[in-house]
Amino acid sequence: MDYEDIKKRLKIITENPVKGIPEEEMAKVRKKIAEKAPKSKEIYDEIKDLIPGGTQHQLVIKDPFALTMKKNLGTKMWDIDGNEYIDYLMSAGACILGHSYPPLREEMQKLLDDLDPNTYWNTEWELKALKLLRKHVPSVEKVTYFQSGTEADMAALRIARVFTGNEKIIKFSGSYHGWSDQLMTDIHIPYSGTMEADGIPRGCYKDIVNVPPADINALEEALEKYTQKRAGVAAVLVEPFGAESGSIPVPPDFNKQIKELCDKYDVLLIFDEVVTGFRMSLGGAQEYLGVIPDLTVFGKILTHGYPSTGAVGGRSEILDVCTGDVETGGKHAFIGGTIRGNPLSIAATYWTIKLIEESNAIEKAAKAGDDLVKKLNNLFEDHDRPYFAYNYKSCIHYETYSPVAMDIRDAENIPKAVFRKKCVDDIATVLLSEGIITKYGNRAFTCMQHTPEENDKFVEAFEKVLNMIPKY
């Protein structure tokens, strides 16, 4: 499905009234989950007194309670009550080979026989891993590791500011680049400002400039405006496929236009490839799109979810500001972290890339994604619904209520967006009750092990969702 078709279909959904799953139906769903998973409920009732919100994981479905998982393998997960689930969350996209992939697990176990993750010295795994990474992502001449994608994004901004001597960072509204103070503005829903930023001094945002999603003219206006000011623009920070891995899609040539503007105004281009990393190609979204950024941020998929996961790569001259050496003019972007670049993370990087390479995981996962999208669209058409699905290889989006696409600059749309978000969450809960785990209720990730039969089960579960939603 192309960009114009997606935009047209989103417009139809957002401009028309919607109905959610009736509460009496949701009550039955919650009862079903409670009856299937009593041990999970018992643990949740205790653990919610120890953990804020009852779980450490922000993407976990908590309606009516968070499940306690005991085992995973391939595409499957089993909870403590013995219930089986087909997983389409895949560790928030980090897992493309499949859970507990035996060749990867075996190599990690061998590593731990020799080296503790707390080894605070160089290891040969760094040389092996980073040479392999650079083979596939040639834009990353040097790489430095962090504990998470959030830290890597923070570091990328600091590195860009030190290298350029400028302070402003331009990002696109609606994009999520981790939860550091300065980037917690206009996240998830465009134009939401500081709605999700309680506890953060507003001064943290003074050098962050948000521009509307997929608006190249607005980007050029911002570059024109701020490059003439004393603070200047250090970098443009981009999710290559648009906010939330394509939930707010961008035109096909959008990234090339961004790169041209960055070159024109002499600012750095940062690609946030925390999700897109090895799902589009082994060279990342940058290889897939034919656009070379100055800095690249990597996250969880770099190590297939093994902790701790985050890295920044780029041209040598840019990364060298991390040292503060004389060659860099003494400029110093201080970075730290006791366990960054630890043997577990580095070896996981090497084996993840090598095993993706050997297994053709990217194309296998993409084929599973294509199959799922086709089947969902057939389902929506059969039920005469305006819903639709699309994918960027193994990153799948299925739009029903499209809360993120609501323009909340119109105050009347704020309660509508909130209601639509609840409707999407209800879909996730119903799918969970049918043994299907998704990202929220509108996204999925396929791995190389998802089968057409498992996709059929996803579609069968979704048909039950559709039968609960009144026609309108």
| Residues 167-205 pLDDT 10s | 999 999 999 999 999 999 999 889 998 888 899 998 999
What band does 244 get if pLDDT is binned at 50, 70 and 90?
confident
Q: Assign 324 to helix, strand or coil.
A: coil
Cβ distance 88 to 446 under 8 Å?
Answer: yes
pLDDT for 215: 96
Domains of the chain with bracketed CATH: 3-82+360-468 (3.90.1150.10), 102-359 (3.40.640.10)
Please tell me the distance from the alpha carbon of residue 266 to that of residue 14, in angstroms, as a whole number. Answer: 38
Write out the DSSP string of 109-144: HHHHHH--TT--S--HHHHHHHHHHHHH-TT-SEEE
Q: Assign 443 to helix, strand or coil.
A: strand
Q: Is 381 left (phi over 0), alpha (psi -120 to 50) or beta?
A: alpha
pLDDT for 227: 87
What is the pLDDT averaged over residues 122-149? 95
pLDDT for 331: 82
What's the angle, vertex CA 82, arms to CA 79 and CA 86, rounded to 5?
A: 60
Structure tokens at 212: 């509307």
Q: Which amino acid is at 222?
A: A
pLDDT for 120: 87
| Whether the predicted pLDDT of 328 surpasses 90 | no
Q: What is the DSSP letter of 273?
A: -
Write out the DSSP string of 10-77: HHHHHHS------HHHHHHHHHHHHHH-HHHHHHHHHHTTTSGGG-S-TTS--SS----EEEEEBTEE
Task: Give the tens place of pLDDT for each residue, 374-406.
Answer: 999 999 999 999 999 999 999 999 999 999 999
Structure tokens at 195: 């709605």
Share of the chain above pLDDT 70, in %: 99
pLDDT for 324: 67
pTM, whole model, 2 decimals? 0.95
What band does 329 get if pLDDT is binned at 50, 70 and 90?
low
What band does 237 get if pLDDT is binned at 50, 70 and 90?
very high
Structure tokens at 132: 């392999």
What is the pLDDT averaged over residues 94-107? 97
Please tell me the distance from the alpha carbon of residue 164 to that of residue 48, in angstroms, as a whole number. Answer: 46
CA distances to 24, 244, 302, 319, 368 from 295, in Å = 51, 19, 16, 9, 31
pLDDT for 325: 65
Q: Assign 431 to helix, strand or coil.
A: helix
Write out the DSSP string of 230-268: SS-EEEEEE-TTSHHHHTB---TTHHHHHHHHHHHHT-E
Per-position b or e across 270-297, b if 16+ CB within 10 A of its CB:
bbbbbbbbbbbbbbbbbbbbebbbbbbb
CA distances to 60, 61, 89, 435, 456 from 68, in Å = 10, 11, 15, 14, 26
Share of the chain above pLDDT 90, in %: 88
Chain center to CA of 374: 23
Cβ distance 40 to 79 under 8 Å?
Answer: yes
Whole-number average pLDDT of the chain: 94
Q: What is the DSSP letter of 160?
A: H
Alpha helices in 323-412 (DSSP H): 343-359, 361-382
List all residues 6 or more positions away from 51 whose beta carbon is below 8 Å from its beta carbon: none
Least confidently predicted of 138-147, 318-327, 376-385: 318-327
Cβ distance 120 to 340 under 8 Å?
Answer: no
| Whether the predicted pLDDT of 446 surpasses 60 | yes
Please tell me the distance from the alpha carbon of residue 243 to that of residue 370, in angstroms, as a whole number. Answer: 21
pLDDT for 62: 94
Judge residue 131's burial from the number of C-beta atoms within 10 Å of its C-beta, 0-12 exposed, 13-18 middle, 19 or more buried. exposed
pLDDT for 142: 97
